[in-house]
Structure 1
Amino acid sequence: MLEDHVKSPSTRRRLLAVGTRAQVDAFVAFLVEAGYSPVTVEQTCRYLAVLTGWVRRHGFDDDFPAGLAAYGVLAERGRVPECESTARGARRAGKRYVQFLREQGAAPALTAPCDRIPLLGAFHRWGVDQRGLAETTLRLYEDVLVDLVDALGDDPGAYTARNLRDFVSARSRPHGGRRGETIVCAVRAFLRFLVAAGRCRDGLPDAIPRFASWKLSSLPKYLEPAAVQRVLDACAPTTPVLRRDRAILLLLSRLGLRGGDIGRIAFGDLDWRSATIAVAGKSRRRELLPLPQDVGDAILDYIRYARPPMRHQEVFLTARAPHRPVNNGTVSQIARAAIVRSGVNAPSHGAHVFRHSAATAMLQHGA
């Protein structure tokens, strides 16, 4: 396997100096199965050989992830012998190798905050079981709550209205209003869990004031139907990427789906005979929506002619290897690129503007 993809004897020799033949061959197979091109596989191995040489010289043979972290710190300071582009490629290759080692069980897996901090683990389970919160929402909250536990400790009995408000104020200060609202929501949700578990006094969640906002102070930002059509026309299905983007944009504009909803669409959710699609939104309750002809045609066109031949159950995958299901961020980038390409003067450039546009069009037609 190694000889088939890496032509340089020197690169092969350096790779085999830190891994067994079976391990290196397995890594090459891992790259091939992930959808990387032969050129990228060889380039990745060449960069990895650079990194493994540094790791071996500095005594990190038995802990490659620690060696990668140390190399990254020095590379950011310009204190490695390689030029900036080579060092960047070496770090990128090292991250792929560490991912491979973790999947093989040869390196310790990353631990989430909910696994590392028992209090957050209990909150995570409560959020899923009792509140129906999505994993993405919980990860967003836990990013804030790790800082809260670090600042105030893991004894909820010591939490007071004053130190909680001080934490929220300090944590929100570097951010804008929207991020500040998320921080407040995270802390209030955590406090509601503590009250439910009998670990802090009632009323403490109400001690955290919400950010000032006024409902209906502005109308939702949307595009007129003609502008939506211009964006769709800018995604003529002439390349694999544009075939995918057009199908995603049709789902956004015709059905008003969220970016996260699109990332979770699996083959089993599509019923071609009844022309329906099953979608589970924030409530995680599956609902059947009609599948318009043009949307179905675009999805089918993508599956037949553009989708990478991967085993993922999700329909929409990233265009570049490693091919994985798209997420909310990917869908927003697709929407932004299409709007820019079309030249439409949009009020916002994210995926949500299409959801608002679909809802506005329905209201205008008497829905």
Structure 2
Amino acid sequence: MPSPGLCRSHDLNPRANHRFSSCKLGIVFYVFSQETLFKGGDIMTKFFAGSGIAQSPEQGPLDVIIPTYAAFLSQQGYSKLSARQQLRFLADMNRWLRQKRLQVTDLSEPTIKRYMRSRHGRLRPRRDDAAILNRLVHLLHTHGLLPQKATRLPDNPHQYIDNDFDHYLSEDRGLCLATRINYRPFIQKFLSARFGNKPARFAELNASDVTRFIRNQAPRLNPKCAGLMVTALRSFFRYLRHRGDITVDLAACVPAIANWQFSTLPKFLQPDQVQQVLSRCDRRTAQGRRDYAILLLLARLACGPVKSSA
């Protein structure tokens, strides 16, 4: 049952044959016709039930599409937390459009850029801002509320796959936010290094692309970051195979990074390096003579270069 304090019906016009439902959404109090609300209003009630969000009697040009957006989130299986964040984003955008006296048909690229500058001046930028705008514009196009030529979102050609991979990690793999944030830069670098500014054609990927990228990036990273990079790449290639974008198991082609204890030590010492080690022993003392004897014995008995692990 929806919370009675969250959604309620009331007559705006006693002579009207229809009723209106009011639902709290972020800091905005939206009013929709019963026909427009349909399932979307019930879903928003589910998303915001028990959240204790305050009311503010405002309306805006996005009122007509927000219930549909909420229904889309529920259908796609987004979590309640993720849905609340996205609907709050739309609430803020709706209020901004109302304050600027703009309509849905005014959502051109310059308008969206103006809103994002305003939002980022007030709120901390979120990594999924572009994805929310993409979904919103897609729904507006689908329902004929926005002409196709009216909007071209500023976005790089890899943004969609980047956002969808994040959703896969969150919803399908259950990874926490911190892990997803750590994975994302490595995937972005790989896509940029392999495809540049062109659309990604994953069917063209092969093992040499993977090893080449890792050879170029690993020397610039410390062992732990390099280990995180290969873990992120393995996860990304499993995701691509899960989607059917690749048929080869490229995750198995990702080499391991030496990150175990003593992995940074050299595997052996050259003769001049052995001599330097021996010269460090103070043979005027008993301990120095003992160390010198042990090291000299190791050097003479070793078959080839002296292994430092010995």
Same fold by TM-score greater than 0.5: no
Larger radius of gyration: 2
TM value normalised by structure 2: 0.34
User: Relative CO higher for 1 or 2, CA cutoff 8 Å, sep ≥ 6?
Assistant: 1
